[in-house]
Structure 1
């Protein structure tokens, strides 16, 4: 690209990392990312279930996550919790570029499956 005078603008001088500033992602943003990842991992929720929510503790570049959720029953609770853990680690790591050494999943409530033909 050239300027009106026909000269090519020079590239901005490289700024040393210490002079550029820093990026800090708020804890509540990390918690929202973790909550959304838990929703994605669960897929459909029971009709009257509260959506998953997460709390986080961020220390340097690592985040410990606690996810609270409700599940339908009967289901393989262990497998569903493991899927939530894996997905939260993957998505939080990818989106906020933090290590996730711990994801604790708390099942707050089980919702019985609705049987066909009952009112």
Structure 2
């Protein structure tokens, strides 16, 4: 006669353990999102801005939101508000999609305006 094997109980994901995502992971996701958001704005220009610089204030608890600060160079002349909004929206969406973490705020700081033909 075969021995009965107990079926493992299924527990909720939160009961199985926790996932902690390092701040540097959020920073890399945000930097990539900012680069991709600005790719069209830089296309066809001889001058390019530097890479985005990102700092992240990570969640104090696993369920808390993160705050992201992105410093970017933008092409000039351009609609700066629209470009900053594009960066903010892309960083928020990519961070939420890839990590499942809510983003409380994305602060976009324009460090430099780069006219075409500069640098």
**Could you state the TM-score of these two structures normalised by the residue count of structure 1?**
0.78
Partner Cα distance (1:54, 1:11) in 2: 50
The answer to whether the 8 A contact 2:56-2:69 is kept is yes
Structure 2's unaligned 5+ residue stretches are none
User: What does 1:1-119 align with in structure 2 at a 5 Å threshold?
Assistant: 13-14=8-9, 16-17=11-12, 20-44=16-40, 45=42, 47-59=47-59, 60=61, 61-114=64-117
The answer to whether the 8 A contact 2:48-2:75 is kept is no
The structure 1 segments of at least 4 consecutive aligned residues displaced by more than 6 Å after TM superposition are none
- SS for the counterpart of 1:68 is strand
CA RMSD of aligned residues (A): 2.4
Partner Cα distance (1:48, 1:83) in 2: 18
Structure 1's unaligned 5+ residue stretches are 1-6
Q: Which structure has the greater CA radius of gyration?
A: 1
Aligned-pair distance for 1:95? 0.5
**Greater shift after overlay, 12-21 or 74-83?**
12-21
